[in-house]
Structure 1
Amino acid sequence: MSSSWFVFTTIIFPLVAVMAAIVSPQVEARAFFVFGDSLVDSGNNNYLATTARADSPPYGVDYPTHRPTGRFSNGLNLPDIISERIGSESTLPYLNPDLRGQKLLVGANFASAGIGILNDTGIQFANIIRIFRQFEYFQDYQRRITEIVGKEQAQRLVNQALVLITLGGNDFVNNYFLVPFSARSRQFSLPDYCRYLISEYRKILLRLYELGGRRVLVTGTGPLGCVPSELAMRSRNGECVPEIQQAAAIFNPLLVQLIQQLNSQLGSTVFIAANAFSTNMDFISNPQRFGFVTSKVACCGQGPYNGLGLCTRLSNLCPNRNIYAFWDGFHPSERANRLIVQQFMIGSTKYMNPMNLSTIMEMDSRT
């Protein structure tokens, strides 16, 4: 690369970006909305009387402020990294009082740790924001944004937004498999339970469409039987727990099938299936290839594999979070989250069906 080209790009490209920011109204920036559970909660549960919270150290040890934020991470979580990649600032939790005025144009995070597809998932946590309550907050958000930019602009902002929804994992680990002979496991065989979850998820996704979602990333469940918390409770020799892995193996293909059916029914690619199982399984099955020393032991925790309990000041804490695939017993480290988002951005149809986020962004920029 010539020095003159370098000088040109370093001077002109930032100038173009600045001019674009001046000329384009702020409302035209793509908003980002987030729904789901602790994998994507950015701090809503901090404002709730619940045990499903990540508001004490060492959570947030690698966040820019080095303080806990309510994210179940050592640093940034999936929505933060997606925001980075689409050139936006992180969305604030909807319950955060700072989410007002121009901040609303960025979008909002409605997610709440502990919830699932089903209303009885996570009942042990109490006072969490179940998915249809998250949608009620979304309606409230739309009323607030309408007051700022008007009805037509508000509708455009919502329709053109990127949406992320992450549900399902808790319906297994904090419901069906929570205790031996749980109510749901007595009611359903595992295949029937998965089909029931999909039938309920269908209602959720259609409701999200009714509320204006037009580009929705829907993550399947990760390899639930391989996370440190399940290894600590159920694994005999450090191998992934077969029956919980089977749950993901049944549920995820059914979810992809549902998404294909919905897109066909709606006549548009509204929903995009993000294969969280494969993205996680890549570094779980071969951690060294991705620069991790282990995918079995959590960085922060106690007991076998550091998989028991929440991460607290009394927990074992690894000195280098970048070489651990899991931050705590259930949640990936920031670095693992970055690998996951990388596949969201550029992954093949194995990871993103029918297209990845880069393709979506390019397509939508032309409309």
Structure 2
Amino acid sequence: MLFGYIGAKVPAVIVFGDSTVDSGNNNYIKTLAKSNFQPYGRDFPGGKPTGRFCNGRLVTDFISEAFGIKQTIPAYLDPAYGIQDFATGVSFASAATGYDNLTSHAMSVIPMWKELEYFKEYQKKLFSFMGKNNANNMLREALYLISLGTNDFIENYFINPAGRRVQFTLEEYSNYLIGISESFIRELYNLGARKISLGGLPPMGCLPILRSINRGACRADCNKLARDFDGKSMALAAKLNKQLTGIKIVFLNVYNPALQVINNPQAYGFESVAVACCGTGTIELSYLCNRDNPFTCVDANKYVFWDAVHPTEKLYHIVADHLMKTTLAELV
């Protein structure tokens, strides 16, 4: 068992979010936001491109394994899996989505409200599969992982000139997203969720795609935005822990462990941090990151980032280990 966490009290990991936790749902919808082709997945068991935006497994896969459940979390829309597989963990996540419906609309991906509808559908299947009492017990003890927000800011605020910045200041937009996050968590609570982990934002300014337009340096303004939004998310978690009886919301700080690696990559065995493994490592992701690109690196373990936006499996592993030893240790 990974990390040696024995006797865990979490029977399933249920995932909502974006490409950082999408294990292949976008394969089954009409969108350009896909990664079900090589070299994606080249280090995944069997070398299979599953639709994960990574060379291998995701942080959620490692967390599931650390709880002693299973090594990978399947995508809900994948017809190769059924309710027996989903009963111990499932991902409803969709790459390129966000809290904001306008974000998901831009790339024709699954919006948050639809992820929640899929969860309700899943609940009904679970009731039929294991009986209502057993299903409700499982749903109460399961860990719900939420990972969202990066796309809202990068795609829908900074890049799109007709996006939300026409309506909102950055502070107003942050508060708008926190309001959506609160509504989502309250609805999950009403549907029986009690152990919820609210994922924070990564150091967005250090993504290769942003460094490539900033002379190779991290964008300090984007990193500050991530820290500020994390502060709002932590305050939301504290507020809801007080207001909702029996709930346990933990905030997952992914910013600090990721930034530690970015600031001192050699200490973790990395050789490249400013550019990614795939292609030139500056702008490639999704269809620009393909098996015919002659520049793709040989050993992804030497790279912090796999494509211009997404981490390598190795960084996800490091972050998952940190989360299990800190925040998620409370739920073991």
> Contact (CA 8 Å) 2:105, 2:111: kept in 1 or not?
no
> Contact (CA 8 Å) 2:278, 2:284: kept in 1 or not?
no
Partner of 2:105: 123
SS at match of 1:61: coil
Partner of 2:68: 87
Percent identity of equivalent pairs? 37
Greater displacement, 192-201 / 31-40: 192-201
The reply on whether 1:50 has 2:31 as its aligned counterpart is: yes
Runs of 5+ in structure 2 lacking a partner?
1-5
Partner of 1:242: 220
The amino acid of 2:93's aligned partner reads A
Q: Deviations over 1:69-89 (max 9, x none)?
A: 000110111111111101112
Partner of 1:203: 183
Partner of 2:310: 331
Runs of 5+ in structure 1 lacking a partner?
1-16, 21-27, 348-355, 362-367
CA distance in 1 between counterparts of 2:285 and 2:242 reads: 43
Greater displacement, 83-92 / 34-43: 83-92
Could you state the TM-score of these two structures normalised by the residue count of structure 1?
A: 0.84
From 103, 116, 120, the equivalent of 2:85 is 103
CA distance in 2 between counterparts of 1:292 and 1:92 reads: 29
Partner of 1:291: 269
SS at match of 2:159: coil
Greater displacement, 53-62 / 305-314: 305-314
The amino acid of 1:306's aligned partner reads T
CA distance in 2 between counterparts of 1:102 and 1:309 reads: 33
Aligned residues: 322
Partner of 2:331: 360
> Contact (CA 8 Å) 1:36, 1:116: kept in 2 or not?
yes
> Contact (CA 8 Å) 2:99, 2:149: kept in 1 or not?
yes
> Contact (CA 8 Å) 1:122, 1:175: kept in 2 or not?
no
CA distance in 2 between counterparts of 1:163 and 1:106 reads: 12
The amino acid of 1:344's aligned partner reads L
The amino acid of 1:308's aligned partner reads E
> Contact (CA 8 Å) 1:297, 1:307: kept in 2 or not?
no
CA distance in 2 between counterparts of 1:329 and 1:71 reads: 14
The amino acid of 2:207's aligned partner reads V
The reply on whether 1:187 has 2:163 as its aligned counterpart is: no
> Contact (CA 8 Å) 1:301, 1:329: kept in 2 or not?
no
The amino acid of 1:86's aligned partner reads F
> Contact (CA 8 Å) 2:39, 2:55: kept in 1 or not?
yes
The reply on whether 1:308 has 2:322 as its aligned counterpart is: no
Q: Deviations over 1:27-64 (max 9, x none)?
A: x9701101100000000111111111110100001011
Structure 1 stretches of 4+ moved >6 Å: none
Partner of 1:66: 47
Closer/same/farther in 2, CA of residues 271 and 43 from structure 1, 3 Å limit: same
The amino acid of 1:359's aligned partner reads E
CA apart distance, 1:182: 3.5
SS at match of 1:337: helix
CA apart distance, 1:332: 0.7
CA distance in 1 between counterparts of 2:23 and 2:284 reads: 22
> Contact (CA 8 Å) 1:263, 1:271: kept in 2 or not?
yes
CA distance in 1 between counterparts of 2:27 and 2:279 reads: 20
CA apart distance, 1:249: 2.4
Q: Which has the higher contact order (CA 8 A, sep 6+)?
A: 2
CA apart distance, 1:268: 4.1
CA distance in 1 between counterparts of 2:299 and 2:218 reads: 24
CA distance in 2 between counterparts of 1:252 and 1:359 reads: 20
Greater displacement, 239-248 / 165-174: 239-248
Partner of 1:281: 259
Q: Deviations over 1:107-131 (max 9, x none)?
A: 21111101000000143311x1111
Closer/same/farther in 2, CA of residues 283 and 29 from structure 1, 3 Å limit: closer
CA apart distance, 1:345: 0.6
> Contact (CA 8 Å) 1:284, 1:325: kept in 2 or not?
yes
Could you state the TM-score of these two structures normalised by the residue count of structure 2?
A: 0.92
The reply on whether 1:176 has 2:157 as its aligned counterpart is: yes
Closer/same/farther in 2, CA of residues 280 and 29 from structure 1, 3 Å limit: closer
CA distance in 1 between counterparts of 2:227 and 2:61 reads: 28
Q: Deviations over 1:84-110 (max 9, x none)?
A: 101112221111123224223212111
> Contact (CA 8 Å) 1:160, 1:215: kept in 2 or not?
yes
From 338, 344, 366, the equivalent of 2:323 is 344
The amino acid of 2:234's aligned partner reads V
Partner of 2:300: 321
The amino acid of 1:317's aligned partner reads T
